[in-house]
Structure formats: C-alpha cells, structure tokens
Amino acid sequence: MGAITIFAGHYGSGKTTAAVNYALQLRGQISGPLALCDMDIVNPYFRTADYAALLAANGIELISSSFANTNVEMPWLPTQAVRVFDDPALTSIIDLGGGDCGALALGRYAQQMQGREDIQLLLVVNPCRPMTRDIAGLRQVRQEIEAAAGLGFSGIVNSTNLGEDTTAELITAHMPLLRALSQTLKLPIVFTAVPLELPLEVPNDMGERLDIVRYPNRFGA
C-alpha cells in the first residue's frame, strides 16, 4: 500500500498550508503517483481545492468533493477518497478538517486503516492561536481528534505562525513550548514549518524544516 500522511489539528492551525507545501516537497522526492485528498468537511472556504491548478501543474492529483468551490455547504466526502486507502501504488496526503468534527471524516475509514503501519497522523500546532496556546489545551485537542478519527497521532508539526507577520524570532520563541508538548504527549516533532524566505536553521529536536510558501487561493489568502 502507498504511504499516507494526515495533517490534523485545531481550527486555523495551518493544516492546509502545511499539506499543500508538503505535497509539493514530496513530489520532488518520489516518482510514483501522488495525491492530496481534501477531507475538510468543516470549513468550505479554505480548502486544498483552492490550489487545484497549482497541484495539477506539479503532477499531484487532487481528490476533493465535487461540491468544493461551490455554494453548497454540507459535509460531503469526495467519492474517490477510498482510493487513498485501497490503491497500493498511490502515495497520499490528507488535509483533515479542524478539530474532532473534522476528524470524524477519517473515522469512516477505520476498517481500511486497521493494522496498517504506513499511516502517520500528524498534529499540526500553532501556539499563536486561541485554544492551542498551552499544553492543557493541546492535550485536549489531541484526545478529541484521536477519539473521533479512530487513530492515534504519531508526530507533531510545529506550525507557529502569524501569517505574513511570521518571523524567525517568533518561531524560535515558541520552541520551548513545542518541546514541552512533545515530551508530555510522547510524540516526536516531525516538521517545523518555516516561511521559505526566513533564514532559520531548525534544531535537530524540532524535526525537519518544512519550507512554506503561502500560495494565494481564490480568496487571496
């Protein structure tokens, strides 16, 4: 089976931005079929579907609901999502909706995920956002998502950012919190997301640097 990487977290944590940039990074590392699956059934306004042209230009298949980028606002999963779990040749990235409500979409595939060791569920953390500024709040987010998804987290993505106002100093200042979170949850930090233009060297214990480019979507964000 193709490996699956899932980006999940609280609302506004930066899941979609991380998923899109990771897909583009991974495209340069593997030659086989690669797909980005939009399972965000919560927020219809900031979705990977907004980046369809960019993904297609880089040879990345987009799996999204036929209702994406329309005026229909309803919890509707893409019909092709089952391929993520059943196609042995497909390497996949999943952009999961925010919080436990969004994670329910993944729970529908619990049977297909059972016993697989090539799936990693990553907790995307932005400590600059409400509800995720301390370990207690982040622990609760972790528990709620795992219960809804039917899958345990395997790592953390440090997504410390204030959008275009993100600085290297901001990311560095929040690293102690991320280290404490990693120790408390017993989860490794897999990536630290850093705007491409920032000259920040990511320490070894903060995972791999994930270069972030904020590609404009249909709303200009």
% of the chain exceeding 90 in pLDDT: 53
User: Could you give the domains of the chain?
Assistant: 4-212 (3.40.50.300)
Residue whose tokens read 């590392």: 29
Q: According to DSSP H, which parts of the chain are helical?
A: 15-27, 52-57, 82-86, 99-107, 110-113, 135-149, 168-173, 175-185
pLDDT surpasses 80 at 17: yes
Q: How far is CA 60 from CA 35, 149, 193, in A?
A: 5, 25, 21
pLDDT digits (tens, 9 = 90+) for 115-158: 888 899 999 999 998 878 889 989 999 999 999 888 899 999 99
Q: Are 58 and 26 a contacting pair, CB within 8 Å?
A: no
What predicted TM-score, i.e. pTM, was given to this entire model? 0.88
User: Residue 12 — pLDDT band, cuts 50, 70, 90?
Assistant: confident
Q: CA-CA distance, 42 to 123, in Å (whole number)?
A: 17
Question: In the structure encoding, which two tokens stand for residue 156, read together?
Answer: 């953390």
Residue 210, classed as helix, strand or coil, is: strand
Q: Which amino acid is at 201?
A: E
Q: How far is CA 188 from CA 41, 42, 72, 153, 182, in A?
A: 28, 27, 38, 10, 6
Question: Would you tell me how many other CB atoms lie within 10 Å of the CB of residue 46?
Answer: 19
Phi and psi at 6, nearest 5°, equal -115, 130
Phi and psi at 112, nearest 5°, equal -70, -30
pLDDT surpasses 60 at 67: no
pLDDT of residue 108: 82
Residue whose tokens read 């990235």: 93
Q: Are 93 and 5 a contacting pair, CB within 8 Å?
A: yes
